Amino acid sequence: MKIYLDGKFVDEADAKISVFDHGLLYGDGIFEGIRLYEGNIFRLDQHLKRLANSAKAIMLDLPCPPEEIGEIICETCRQNGLTDGYIRLVITRGVGDLGLSPWSCANPSMFVIASKISLYPQEHYDNGLAIVTLPTRRINPAALPPTVKSLNYLNNILGKIEAKQAGALEGIMLNDQGYVAECTADNIFIVQDGEILTPSSSQGALKGITRGTIFDIADELNMPIREVNMTRYDVWCADECFLTGSGAKVIPVSKLDGRVIGSGKPGPATQQILASFRRRVTAEGRKI
């Protein structure tokens, strides 16, 4: 496997960063998880825009313009002979002194990995995923805005550990008010009485690229959609539920906390959304 690292492509074994990199020492950096479908990088421009916004929010200078980063991503896919896969773009603050101060880091560091990913077995896409509510609460947006896709994922990892301990592959994280924020790695949607509902970013949800696609699909299908304050009760009693993410794509949910959601199978609205999503992923974005 070839990895792009700070201006050159290197073998996987040679893709190394310094132990003094502030991304490693303090989680000071940003990233994007991006999908490649049949040679098409899905919504690459939206990913690059979010990357630039995350960088601006934490006052991190991009090592090169977004347009150039886009071409680097395409070339990384070509170097690895990929037509379908998952791309991880990471920009760290770079090498600096010990201590929190970002001003000691002279140059940011960037690397791009293009490989494969499989978060959930196919059976769960066909029949739905059983998830649980997690004890760990999502970080308050006033403490760390979820709109910044940063390297600080320990909050999510604690939730992932709790999901595994409960025998689930994924779980819902509530915010400090008790409203549903998102899952450990996915955004969440429910369908109730023909309307699609999802938590807002002000409640702790990441503004996911796949999440944004659902809003476009809802418009295409003439399905009403809106952001709401959502409780576990709302999910328990929903007609349908599904999760979205660049890694997960769109996956139905059949149970929450042992309660069957709807019929316990992917519902008609979810199936319509899935069909539209599958059409879009090879058409919207940039061909490598």
Question: What is the pLDDT at residue 280?
Answer: 97
Question: What is the pLDDT at residue 201?
Answer: 86
Claim to verify: residue 46 and residue 163 sit in the same structural domain: no
| 10-29 tens-digit pLDDT | 999 999 999 999 999 999 99
| 108-161 tens-digit pLDDT | 999 999 999 888 999 999 999 999 999 999 999 999 998 999 999 999 999 999
Q: Which domain does 19 fall in, by range?
A: 2-115
pTM above 0.75, yes or no: yes
Question: What is the pLDDT at residue 263?
Answer: 97
Claim to verify: residue 129 and residue 272 sit in the same structural domain: yes
> Would 84 be classed as within a structural domain?
yes
Give the CATH number, domain containing residue 231. 3.20.10.10
| 179-205 tens-digit pLDDT | 999 999 999 999 999 999 999 988 889
Look at the chain and report how many structural domains it folds into: 2
Q: Which residues are catalytic?
A: 149
> Would 288 be classed as within a structural domain?
no
CA 99 to chain centre: 29
Question: What is the pLDDT at residue 276?
Answer: 97
Claim to verify: residue 67 and residue 135 sit in the same structural domain: no
